[in-house]
Amino acid sequence: MRNLRPLTPDEAPGKSQELLGDIVGRHGSAGEMVSTMAHSPALLQGYLDLSRAMKRIKIPRPLSEKISLTLQEWIGCGTCMESHIEAGRAAGLTDTDITLARQGTSTDVREAALLAFALRVLTEPSSLTPDDVTALREHGWSDRVIAEIVGLVSLNMLTGSFNLVAGIQPDTKP
């Protein structure tokens, strides 16, 4: 059941009207989540800015999708999970890759360490220590990638939480 309804550009308040109008003009539609975020111009602007910024990360697309799958499995957003399964497949992930990512792991030890770290950033950030960051560096991850994990976690938490609050969920969980 939807708790918040999507808005058209004409219904949207303030800056959301301009943002939605631009998106619809360029893409034909804005999608349910974005149209529903339009209730808050600040939220919509923040989401769009963070989403665009995270497209420029150094983490390869297949790995970023694995990270999102790990996070969304814990967050519980079925809509996000469906989206990241589809995006993961488009990025070349196999069914095994997707299953393992949803379990927070990978056949690649370096990736598994990064997935576990991302999950801890989401679920227990106060437990992270300098040794955890050092361990990622020892796996060959750069400070840039370590910092970008926080951005991916933030984006996934934002979208997953918003969809759950708004009631934007598929009929069945993937």
Chain centroid to Cα 16, Å, comes to 21
Rounded mean pLDDT of 2-8? 95
**CA 149 – CA 95 distance, rounded (Å):** 23
**CA 75 – CA 157 distance, rounded (Å):** 7
Rounded mean pLDDT of 150-172? 94
Please, what sign has the CA dihedral across residues 168, 170, 173, 174? negative
Rounded mean pLDDT of 139-168? 98
**CA 92 – CA 97 distance, rounded (Å):** 9
The answer to whether residue 171 scores a pLDDT higher than 90 is no
**CA 39 – CA 57 distance, rounded (Å):** 28
For residue 76, what is the DSSP state? T
Listed in order, the ranges of the chain carrying CATH 1.20.1290.10 are: 61-166
The answer to whether residue 173 scores a pLDDT higher than 90 is no
| pLDDT score at 105 | 98
Rounded to two decimals, the pTM is 0.94
Q: Which CATH architecture has domain 61-166?
A: Up-down Bundle (1.20)
| pLDDT score at 172 | 54
What distance, in Å, lies between the first and last C-alpha atoms of the chain?
18
For residue 140, what is the DSSP state? T
The tokens describing 18, both together, are 């301009």
Read off the pLDDT band of 174 (50, 70, 90): very low
Tens of pLDDT, residues 32-65: 999 999 999 999 999 999 999 999 999 999 999 9
Rounded mean pLDDT of 10-20? 95
Return the percentage of the chain with pLDDT > 90, whole number.
Answer: 97
